[in-house]
Structure 1
Amino acid sequence: MHDGKYILFFIGALGAFNGILLAIYFMFLAKRRNLSSFFLGCLMAALSLRIGKAVLIYFDSNLPEIYRQIGISACLLIGPALFFFLKSSIDQLTQVPRSWKYQIGALLAAIVFMGVMYRYATYPELWRKYSIQVVYAVWTLYIIAAGVVIRGLFARIRSTSDALKPAENWLLAIYSVNVAIFLSFMMAYLIRDICETYYGGAIIFSLVLYAMIFIHLYHSRTAEQFYVVPAKNPVRKVDEATVMNLVTTLEQQMVKGGLFKNPNLTLSELAKSINIPAHQLSQLLNDNLGKNFTSYVNEYRIEEACRMIAQGHPFSLEAIGYEVGFNSKSTFYTAFKKIKATTPLMYKEDLAKRSDASLVR
């Protein structure tokens, strides 16, 4: 290996290693860790495994076949992780939708099944001719789906009067670089004689990693929100009468339609129920009601939970939490304490004491 290759190997290997460290950070250690940061960590992990495999195989083609199997398997998760990250950021999701769980489960099941029943070392032709085609097909579909999710941001780039905010630029950068990496590997797959494009993905990934680390260190106090929190889309102010009509319609949908009981309710779905864009609903909640989407929905859920508790509903407190739209006991208790400044159990006991005191009188 000549000096030039040593340098390329060092850059690619260091990029893959740093990617794993960043994946761990985003998934488990970030101060503002949420659903979008978790999926960003998953994206970094999948890319790192794929890039790591590319680095090792490019410089030593005699490595055990398990490295190729791991790399191809990780490649199956890159597209989905990118889509889930962008979608959870744009729609401000706080919980994993059921459809995503099915998709993730199916992908992981396919990886385990192929890895156990049809190992690369035993069935190399199966992986080279068919499995890789399925992997690239899945990657392509999710790349397209991710592009659809952020198509509005690309459209706004052409508008000189409607500049993108930092978080939106960050989402576009992540998507664009992933497309570049995808194209480099796809070109290498279609034109097998061009090895440089195969390793090009590793170089691109490494350079982007260094840029991400620099931004995080340079903007240590604020950069974190660029990774996981979508910026609001600037929209024009609406008149007070329109705001009141929208608020009234929104309340009717929440109460009469019981939308808050849907544990997978998203900002986009709620906006669609009152026929306005998601960014306009976000502005309405933040500017006119002083609440974000999660707080707004949780208030309805907690009020319904309090009503059920006051009526002596036979459900357990945990079951009531699920009934009003929470996905877990912990999120129910956390939201209840935040809104009512007490726990559900203490609230129930306090109601019982008041009832007993009124009977004594």
Structure 2
Amino acid sequence: MEFSKNLLFFFSALGAFNGLFLSLYFGFLIKNRSRATHFLAALLFVISVRVTKSVFLTFYPGTSSVFVSVGLTACFLIGPFLYLYTRIAINPHKVHKWNWLFHVIPVLIFMTIISIQYPYREYRHLWWRSPPRIFGMLLFIQWTLYTIAAIHQARNTFKILWSSTKKITTLDFWIINIVTGSFIIWLAYNTTTYTSYIVGALSFSFTFYITLVIWIIKRRKSTLTFLTPTVKYANRKIDQEKASSIADKLNTLFKEEEIHRNPNLKLSDVADQLHIKPHELSQYLNDNLELSFSNYINMHRVKTATKLIQTNTLLTLEAIGNECGFKSNSTFYTAFKKQEGMTPSQFKKSWK
């Protein structure tokens, strides 16, 4: 048993060192640094400090209470930094420059007071997982809430894993791995008996995995730009009132007037009728509907085609395609199958 424990702590020490190196890399050495990479660096740093505290406390029982308090503070910061990284990576424009301080400063103040009033050496029982574990319970609640919040932030990213229409991007891949790895560390810390052993080994695996991913990307001569999403029109996002107005007008143009039946319809034509600039319309479709202009008009053309197939028995399928605004039969069939999952002829047979 002693050998296995020593082996686990050996990997814990490696994990702590590897995590510190990665936090330095993401914080200062990576070429495309951003707020997202800085918070990822902070997350890896506090995980490493937490593991380092356990390693020293096990091999050097006389470790100062100050260092132990630093390790416990790092444990309180894992949840906030995971949430901040996830939120900023997905929606950077929704987090103001200094808002992150509201998640970090209270923890620092709280732990400073606790370290002075309740030194770990004298009140370590308050950190146990059995009563009267008041500080241990506070840590569990705080870490759990932030972990849930981070998973909630990344929920749409996880949905892509089971989507047959959307492709996973490198940013999605990175967020999924960071959130999943952090969740496993949280789970091990709060459910296993020997948290120091298990969490330390898991932290080693987590940081080693990230290192391996970076090494593979570097071997492919790629960059790590995917750590920070490129948000189109991020600095000039359409406000909610204007977006609602555009939606109402588009509904009138496409559902009531059916302007998509015009085979020569262009983005600028629609923008003129909406009395906005073409780039604003493109921005609205991309940001609010996650559709390009061509996909948007094809969506309406296919909807109109399905209605005609069901109600008009005189027109041929080719004529229906032309009537709906498609310039060629092949374009009609391709768009129809993409949206409905079957060809127009198959759809027609299903309604007989």
TM-score by length of 2: 0.62
* Cα separation, 1, equivalents of 2:274 and 2:47: 43
Alpha-carbon distance, 1:4 to partner: 3.5
1:47 maps to which residue?
47
* Cα separation, 2, equivalents of 1:29 and 1:94: 26
1:214 maps to which residue?
212
Structure 1's 231 and 99: CA in aligned 2 closer, same or farther, altered over 3 A?
Answer: closer
**Cα RMSD, aligned residues only:** 3.5
2:143 maps to which residue?
139
Alpha-carbon distance, 1:29 to partner: 2.3
1:116 maps to which residue?
116
Q: Give the 5 Å matches for 1:66-81.
A: 66-81=66-81
* Cα separation, 2, equivalents of 1:97 and 1:284: 31
Q: Give the 5 Å matches for 1:279-298.
A: 280=289
- The one-letter code matched in structure 2 to 1:156 is I
* Cα separation, 2, equivalents of 1:94 and 1:231: 11
* Residue 276 of structure 2 is aligned to residue 248 of structure 1: yes
Alpha-carbon distance, 1:104 to partner: 2.1
Alpha-carbon distance, 1:208 to partner: 2.0
For 1:248, what is the secondary structure of its paired residue?
A: coil
User: For 1:177, which of 163, 176, 181 is the aligned residue?
Assistant: 181
2:23 maps to which residue?
23
For 1:33, what is the secondary structure of its paired residue?
A: coil
* Cα separation, 1, equivalents of 2:35 and 2:189: 28
For 2:100, what is the secondary structure of its paired residue?
A: helix
* Cα separation, 1, equivalents of 2:10 and 2:109: 34
The size of the alignment, in residue pairs, is 254
1:229 maps to which residue?
229
Alpha-carbon distance, 1:219 to partner: 1.4
For 1:73, what is the secondary structure of its paired residue?
A: helix
Which runs of 5 or more structure 2 residues have no equivalent in the other structure? 233-253, 255-259, 261-266, 294-352
Which runs of 5 or more structure 1 residues have no equivalent in the other structure? 189-193, 233-237, 254-270, 286-361
Larger Rg: 2
Q: Is the contact between residue 73 and residue 108 of structure 2 (CA under 8 Å) also seen in structure 1?
A: no
% identical aligned pairs:
25
Q: Give the 5 Å matches for 1:271-282.
A: 278=287, 280=289
Per-residue CA deviations over 1:110-134 (Å, capped at 9, x if unaligned) read 2222223432234334444212211
* Cα separation, 1, equivalents of 2:96 and 2:162: 33
Higher mean alpha-carbon deviation, 95-104 vs 163-172, is at 95-104
Q: Give the 5 Å matches for 1:196-207.
A: 197-207=195-205
TM-score by length of 1: 0.61
